[in-house]
């Protein structure tokens, strides 16, 4: 049953790329300039695990799961390959990048064709695995598949056969749970299941009492749901504006039993399929695409922004890496920070000044940014320069940016007359904007005789702050600025903030300030309305205090509520604050841009998030949430295999101070497979457009802090009503394949 059963699971029977991976081959593994060794790699029969030979005596595990791969990158993209290989092997190189902090695997194939084949084949099988949930329409449903999986026709199923079968019908099951259920069903203790034991296994696996109840209530046609029954459910429970035709389309798409489908009816299995369909999940499917107006001025949007983007870990000793830029950009971050210093070989480098973080070449970072900036989002990327370089190396910086970024770099204002406002994200698609110091005003483009000002400008805000934080450092308040670098700063000229009044009277729209978090939070608390007006025609960038040596984060929500656009967080640090950032930027096609509510774009706005006077922002809603059940929650502690989780769920609301709230369920002892809570919560939300909802699942511990099992955050305005499944993400933001929460949501206008 082995290979074709599973090949079928990927919809890749007889696929040449799959055969290539199953056959495997020798690759040169690169660890340093002296450690380059040939190793054999192949895909195992389960089509989910790669095997590789290892010459370590003690290394028991010679495999890694395809689920652990973040990306496959062709060429010398990783630092290892750039450092330890010569340019002429470019075409033969590729890297496997893992999720989390695991080291990359840098490989060299024996020819360019072979390297291409490895990359194509791996990318194909990864993309097939990721799209599985769309392929859930397995024609021959469960028992059929079981017959097919039983290759030797002995009417018995070993655990291995069962696992293959489960992957094939795409019932995602954690291996531990599969073994637990298998043992429960193997009454004869023979190591095989047969006949009724197999059916028992399937029943246990798909048993969802809570869904039986809902299905039972609406299945009014010979024990099944007709189109009209399903329509009733969609109108009454899911509160969707749909027709009978829509209901029949869902049956056509999700029903797994052909006999029922022919009668235009839905079985319980089909109903479960529908509830797991991406469009039926908690996130409103219309928000998955870019649905907002993208033609407003750039400063009318919240912009997903990163701080110390070059760091993989903390800012005292962590490695600097081009990979960190790639990861942030792939998460649709649209403003990245480059901390530039003079390099020893005459080439500028990027690292965290005065610390032990490693250094990377400025030009390598620009190459990586060019390559990955627009893969997740086509909207503009701002390169925020923290410049500590000599004039000579600044000229090189300008040269690298103009030559590498070419026409994608914005080097002059759009239009033929002096602009009075920002262009829109739509007009700037696929373009890079440089944020940094500029020697003169933007008018210089339109008045040829304008003279350059003094060629020294005061130090960047962030650098100056860092010096305040650590008096020991040499003071240098003036920085000489190269004209070449100054000239490519167009819409984001860094200036010092001297109060809202000065900004209003003396600063042009393109002159923007950066605020250290403490100062920004104070302004957002004490003069929120002034801050909002400031941000109606200017940009503000906020960044974490230099004292956060562990690269921890601050809460971005109060700063968004004050209209700040570029609220920069440490993307490299998994944290609740990063969850909020990813949740805020989840809708609108994950474009990295979210249009601010109208009252944050209006020069006469009276909105103040603290005092909350009456106005269009007050749209008081009551949110009713019933936390019903959980599915296949992963074990936290893989080492203690027996430690089953004791899960609880907490629902948190973030927004204006009046909306901040959290409530949690009791914990269920020893059950991660199908815990049931059935607890109801009610929240009052006054400013829905600024609210985020975060669902957190934790492993309860009476003696120490609870461990995070998974979480999911989304904007209040993107919630769907009704019975909804919620996917769960790890602390790094990766989806946990088989886990989820099941809830009922009802948002009503408060009386």
Residues in the annotated binding site for Ca(2+): 308, 337, 339, 386, 644, 646, 670, 699-701
The active-site residue, picked from 352, 388, 533, 534, is 352
Active site residue 140: no
Half-sphere exposure (CA, 13 Å, Cβ side) for 655? Answer: 28
Greatest extent of the chain over all pairs of C-alpha atoms, in Å: 94
Could you give the CA distance from residue 687 to residue 617 in angstroms, rounded to a whole number?
A: 6
Classified as helix, coil or strand, 2 is helix
Show binding-site residues for substrate: 29-56, 435, 437, 514, 541
From first CA to last CA, the distance across the chain in angstroms is 61
Beta strand 432-436 with 492-494 is parallel
Question: Is 352 annotated in the active site?
Answer: yes
Q: Write out the E strands in 404-497.
A: 432-436, 456-458, 478-480, 492-494
Annotated active-site residue in 10, 164, 300, 307: 307
Q: What angle do CA 104, 350, 119 make, to 5 degrees?
A: 25
> Exposed (0-12), middle (13-18) or buried (19+): which is 356, by Cβ within 10 Å?
exposed
Parallel, antiparallel or unpaired: strands 566-569 and 593-595 = unpaired
Kindly state the tokens that stand for 568.
């920069």
- Can you read off the two tokens belonging to residue 16? 């040449």
The Cα–Cα gap between 546 and 368 comes to 26
Structure tokens at 354: 């005065």
Give the orientation angle of helix 159-168 with respect to helix 142-149, to 10 degrees. 130
DSSP single-letter state for residue 277: S
Q: How far apart are CA 312 and CA 320, in angstroms?
A: 6
648 within 8 A of 692, measured Cβ to Cβ: no
Whole-angstrom CA distances from 392 to 252, 481, 493 are 66, 10, 21
Round to whole Å and give the CA distance between 336 and 329: 8
Binding positions:
29-56, 308, 337, 339, 386, 435, 437, 514, 541, 644, 646, 670, 699-701
Number of Cβ within 10 Å of residue 682's Cβ equals 11
Locate 68 and state its tokens.
């652990």
Residue written as token pair 């790639």: 326
> Cα separation of 135 and 81, whole Å?
37
Phi then psi for 360, rounded to 5 degrees? -130, 155
Residue for token digits 């262009």? Answer: 423
Q: Residues with catalytic annotation?
A: 307, 352
């Amino acid at each position: 049953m082995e290979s074709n059963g599973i090949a079928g699971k990927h919809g890749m029977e007889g696929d040449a790329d799959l055969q290539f991976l199953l056959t495997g081959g020798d690759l040169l593994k690169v660890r340093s300039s002296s450690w380059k060794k040939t190793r054999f790699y192949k895909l195992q029969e389960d089509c989910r695990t790669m095997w590789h030979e290892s010459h370590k005596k003690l290394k028991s595990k010679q495999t890694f799961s395809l689920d652990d791969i973040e990306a496959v990158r062709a060429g010398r993209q990783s630092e290892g390959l750039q450092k330890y290989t010569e340019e002429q092997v470019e075409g033969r190189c590729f890297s496997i990048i893992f999720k989390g902090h695991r080291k990359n695997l840098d490989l060299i194939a024996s020819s360019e064709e072979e390297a291409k084949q490895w990359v194509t084949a791996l990318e194909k099988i990864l993309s097939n695995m990721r799209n599985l949930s769309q392929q859930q329409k397995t024609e021959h449903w469960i028992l059929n598949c079981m017959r097919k999986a039983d290759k030797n026709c002995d009417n018995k199923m070993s655990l291995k056969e069962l696992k293959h079968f489960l992957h094939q019908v795409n019932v995602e099951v954690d291996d531990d749970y599969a073994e637990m259920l298998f043992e429960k069903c193997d009454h004869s203790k023979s190591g095989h299941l047969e006949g009724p034991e197999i059916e028992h296994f399937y029943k246990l696996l798909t048993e969802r009492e809570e869904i039986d109840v809902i299905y039972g209530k609406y299945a009014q046609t010979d024990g099944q749901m007709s189109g009209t029954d399903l329509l009733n459910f969609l109108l009454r429970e899911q509160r969707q504006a749909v027709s009978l035709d829509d209901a029949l389309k869902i049956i056509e798409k999700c029903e797994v039993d052909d006999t029922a489908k022919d009668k235009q009816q839905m079985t319980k299995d089909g109903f479960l399929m529908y509830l797991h369909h991406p469009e039926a999940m908690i996130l409103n499917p219309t928000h998955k695409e870019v649905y907002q107006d993208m033609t407003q001025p750039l400063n009318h949007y919240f912009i997903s922004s990163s701080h110390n983007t070059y760091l993989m870990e903390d800012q005292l000793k962590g490695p600097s890496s081009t990979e960190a830029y790639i990861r942030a950009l792939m998460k649709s971050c649209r403003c990245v920070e480059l901390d530039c210093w003079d390099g020893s070989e005459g080439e500028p480098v990027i690292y965290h000044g005065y610390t032990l973080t490693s250094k990377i070449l400025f030009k390598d970072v620009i190459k990586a940014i060019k390559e990955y900036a627009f893969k997740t989002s086509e909207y503009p990327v701002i390169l925020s320069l923290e410049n500590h370089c000599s004039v000579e190396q600044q000229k090189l910086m300008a040269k690298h940016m103009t030559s590498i970024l070419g026409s994608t770099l914005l080097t002059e204002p759009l239009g033929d007359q002096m602009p009075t406002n920002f262009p829109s994200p739509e007009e700037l698609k696929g373009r890079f904007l440089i944020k940094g110091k500029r020697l003169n005003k933007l008018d210089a483009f339109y008045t040829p005789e304008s003279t350059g000002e003094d060629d020294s400008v005061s130090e960047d805000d962030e650098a100056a702050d860092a010096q305040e934080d650590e008096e020991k450092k040499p003071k240098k308040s003036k920085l000489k600025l190269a004209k070449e670098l100054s000239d490519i700063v167009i819409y984001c000229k860094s200036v010092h903030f001297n109060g809202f009044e000065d900004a209003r009277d003396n600063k042009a729209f393109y002159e923007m300030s950066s605020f250290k978090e403490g100062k920004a939070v104070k302004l957002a608390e004490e003069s929120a309305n002034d801050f909002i007006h400031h941000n109606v025609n200017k940009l503000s960038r906020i960044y974490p205090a230099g004292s956060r040596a562990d690269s921890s984060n601050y809460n971005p929500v109060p700063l968004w509520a004050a209209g700040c656009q570029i609220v920069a967080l440490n993307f490299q640090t998994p944290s609740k604050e990063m969850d909020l950032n990813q949740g805020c930027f989840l809708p609108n096609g994950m474009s990295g841009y979210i249009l601010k509510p109208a009252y944050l774009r209006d020069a006469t706005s009276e909105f103040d998030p603290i005092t909350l006077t009456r106005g269009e922002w007050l749209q008081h809603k009551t949110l009713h949430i019933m936390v019903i059940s959980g599915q296949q929650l992963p074990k936290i502690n893989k080492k203690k295999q027996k430690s089953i989780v004791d899960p609880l769920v907490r629902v948190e609301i973030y927004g204006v101070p009046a909306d901040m709230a959290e409530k949690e369920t009791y914990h269920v002892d020893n059950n991660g497979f199908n815990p049931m809570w059935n607890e109801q919560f009610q929240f009052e939300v006054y400013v829905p457009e600024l609210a985020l909802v975060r669902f957190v699942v934790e492993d309860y511990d009476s003696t120490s802090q609870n461990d995070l099992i998974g979480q999911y955050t989304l904007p209040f305005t993107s919630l769907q009503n009704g019975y909804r499944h919620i996917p769960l993400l790890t602390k790094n933001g990766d989806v946990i394949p088989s886990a989820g929460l099941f809830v009922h949501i009802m948002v009503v206008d408060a009386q």
